[in-house]
A and B are shown apart, each in its own frame.
Chain A
Amino acid sequence: MIAAGERAAMAESVRHAIASAPVRAGGGADVDQALAGIGWLAMLEEEPDDAVAIVFAALGAANATATALDDVLATALGEKPRPDLAVLLPPFATWEPPGRIENDELHAAGLASARVGAAAARVLVVCGTAREPRRTVVPAAAIAAETVRGVDPAARLRAARVRLHAGAPDVERLDPAAWRSAVALGRRAVAHQIEGACRAMLDLARTHALARVQFGRPIARFQAVRHRLAEALVAVELLEAALTAAREQPSDEAAALAKAIAGRTAATVTRHCQQVLAGIGFTTEHPFHRFAKRAMVLEGLLGSADRIVLDLGRKLVAERRVPTLIEL
């Protein structure tokens, strides 16, 4: 882990790069190119924890769209990350490997980043079960991908399907620990992105509360409004603490909890901030909606809060043991 001062400088350069990203052909900012320009892949290789925390929080805070999650997952799966390699994500809200092999055929369905259908020449597909995972790399041409518009078209997700003769691609065994660590690191990345989005929403609501005058005073003077913003801050700080713990005393469970807490935090922050923003929070004139919608989409990547809570809860009641996970 790098020193605090260096981390702050890194965060600043990432923010700056994202803010000044070049325009992509076809519109929108080319954040991937901006990240490549400041050495994202080298950062990810040298200091994966800091790189993931800083880059994803900055993406969330800027409502920026990138495909860096492909690199995070590829790294954890033992593949050298590169701009033309995508990783197939499990379907919305889930985290089991997205593929299965049946009758000598590889079937896979899941979500994919904008790399699929654009830069990606190859797609890494994990199949089987979390306990006995296997992996294969298929040519992008073998993937049928449709653009997902959904609530947040700017997230540029794809719904992807693969159907291939299993004999064709090389299907290898994958260490279950590699899949688990990919899910864990991916969850932390997405949770950091949600944290960034939540801080942005809180900033917007706070600014609005201080500026908006009703009954002759800024609405920030009203205790009901103040308490909503306080609740939102509590939720964001909780998420940050959970992410710090998941980084400093890493475990699959700590990463899972961080992702679940991110989901709860996003729900809390969205609810309170939208209420404080009131009318303007229900329009597309104000930027709030972009963060709220992005958080809704991110909530489903690599496991929703509800499903993670149920999964962890099942383990607790089955084993009749409540581990503390983190120590002082």
Chain B
Amino acid sequence: MSFSAEGQSDSLPWCDLAGYRAALHAWLDANHAALAPRFEPPGTIDDRVAQMQRVKSILFDGGWMQLGWPERVGGRGGSPMLRTELGAALAARDLADPGLFSLVEVLVPTLIDFAPPDLAAEVVPRLLSGAEIWCQGFSEPDSGSDLASLRCRALPEGGDARTAKRWVIRGQKVWTSLAQFSDRCVLLTRTGSPESRHRGITAFLVDMHSPGITVAPIELINGELEFAEVFFDDVVVPAERMLGELDGGWSVAMSILPYERSSCFWQRIAYLYRRLQCLVEAVPADDRAAEVVGEAYLQLHALRARSRATQHRLAATGTIGAETSIDKVLVANADHAVYDAVRRLLPGSIELGDDSAGRALRSQYLFSRAATVYGGTAEVQRNIIARRLLDLGGDE
């Protein structure tokens, strides 16, 4: 396809996505030695975060990391699909963990759309270049699927929200990815009454080095420390760090959905193809393997077809909505299907393997089970599909 008119930049040398993809892969081939991980898989979370930052920094120096982002935040312009292709290429080559790398997709658009322009121009390049890591403080212990019930409180210093120069935050977040590594956090806080639901939420960009912040990593089922609890004990945030309007945080939260459900998914899909590729390199070429691999391949292909259609719709119309709950259901199913195939065809690897391959597969397998939970549970997606897409009315 050709690039969408929106975001088209005359300064980019490629006339279509296929040309860009070819140039990108040639560059990645040429720079493979510099980009390749310095650790044996799976590595620790510290290894993987360091790898991601190193890759970002090399890509930034090469001018790739800025593609698809607007020039006013230090980008080079061009279609957002350029970013998607970049993330997918890294995932397909196991150069960066797509779950970590694609966080930029849910953080930077928030800054572009909601931060004061000077702030966005100052901080976004630091994230893209690998100089900083950011996290996203949305979920709370009592607010998982029901995000609008969040309680982490932000109070205006002096009591007047309109004139306050500073805000004071108190409360707790949970499932904050990479919080212990982060320099900044896109944080959702309660600024309205406790009952105000989605109308009384405000977003801030909080400096994670501020006094009063405590980060407690959570050990996941696979032994990883990718997520953390974050405690805010009267943390002071300047008013100019507010993202969007006072009490306008819900639209900030919702605005990331199109990116999470397009580019992030495409990167995950590339990663899953890579996992299936590794599997066919490890199994005997018999009919049992053929059936199991074929079944997972069918699911991956169908998902890829769906995600492709979603991204073309996003490029054509500028928006996507409830129909992406279908994409979310599919990406979770495919994630399960690929690792189920691995477990069936390599018996003992996941359960007993203590070599690098076994430890990597075990870690990935155990984490893959969460695919039907994170980013909105499978049940919530089906509720949305039933109400919004099938128009079945309310369920109460």
Contacts and interface: CB of A to CB of B under 8 A. Distances in A.
Interface of A: 206, 209-210, 218, 220-223, 226-227, 229-231, 233-234, 237-239, 241-242, 244-245, 254, 257, 260-261, 264, 309-314, 316-318, 320-322, 324-328
Given A233-B385, A328-B84, A260 B1 contact: no
Nearest to A305: B298
A317 B304 contact: no
B295 A309 contact: yes
Chain B interface extent, by class: 35 or more
B394 interface: yes
Given A314-B285, A317-B284, A321-B277, 20 more contacts: A221-B393, A226-B383, A226-B395, A227-B379, A230-B381, A233-B326, A233-B390, A238-B303, A241-B306, A242-B301, A264-B298, A309-B291, A312-B294, A313-B291, A314-B287, A317-B290, A320-B281, A324-B270, A328-B81, A328-B312
A229 B293 contact: no
A230 B301 contact: no
B311 interface: yes
Nearest to A314: B290
20 contacts: A206-B392, A220-B393, A233-B385, A237-B306, A238-B326, A238-B330, A241-B306, A242-B302, A245-B309, A257-B297, A261-B298, A310-B294, A312-B294, A314-B285, A318-B285, A324-B270, A325-B301, A325-B304, A327-B21, A328-B312
A328 to B, nearest CB: 6
A210 B293 CA distance: 40
Given A206-B390, A227-B382, A322-B276, A313 B294 contact: yes
Contact of B294 (A221, A238, A242, A309): A309
B60 interface: no
Contact of B311 (A322, A324, A328): A328
Nearest to B275: A322
B273 interface: yes
Contacts of B284: 317
A315 to B, nearest CB: 8
A234 B326 contact: yes
Nearest to A232: B390
A306 B305 CA distance: 20
Contacts of A226: 382-383, 386-387, 390, 392, 395
A321 to B, nearest CB: 7
B241 interface: no
Q: Which 7 A-B residue pairings sit nearest by Cβ, starting from the closest?
A: A313-B294, A313-B290, A226-B386, A245-B305, A230-B385, A309-B294, A241-B306
B329 interface: yes
Contacts of B329: 230, 234
Nearest to A222: B395
Contact of A316 (B85, B270, B280, B326): B280
A321 B354 CA distance: 26
Interface of B: 1, 17-18, 21, 81, 84-85, 266, 270, 273, 276-277, 280-281, 283-287, 289-295, 297-298, 301-306, 308-309, 311-312, 323, 326, 329-330, 379, 381-383, 385-387, 389-390, 392-396
A327 B395 contact: no
Contacts of A231: 382
Given A237-B306, A241-B302, A322 B277 contact: yes
Nearest to A221: B395
A262 to B, nearest CB: 10
Contacts of A254: 301
A324 B309 CA distance: 15
A327 B311 CA distance: 11
A327 B309 contact: no
A326 B305 contact: yes
A313 B293 contact: yes
A328 B314 CA distance: 12
A313 B295 contact: yes
Nearest to B329: A234
A210 B391 CA distance: 10
A229 B329 CA distance: 14
Contacts of A206: 390, 392
Contact of B280 (A237, A244, A264, A320): A320
Nearest to A245: B305
A321 B326 CA distance: 28
B41 to A, nearest CB: 18
Contact of A238 (B18, B84, B277, B302): B302
Nearest to A223: B395
B287 A328 contact: no
- Which of A222, A227, A254 counts the most B-chain CB atoms under 10 A from its CB? A227
A209 B391 CA distance: 11
Nearest to B301: A257
Given A233-B385, A242-B302, A328-B17, A310 B390 contact: no
A101 B277 CA distance: 40
A245 B382 CA distance: 25
Nearest to A205: B390
A312 B297 contact: yes
Contacts of A233: 326, 385, 389-390
Nearest to A246: B305
B307 to A, nearest CB: 8
B280 A321 contact: yes
A311 to B, nearest CB: 8
Contacts of B292: 313
A264 B326 CA distance: 16
B389 to A, nearest CB: 6
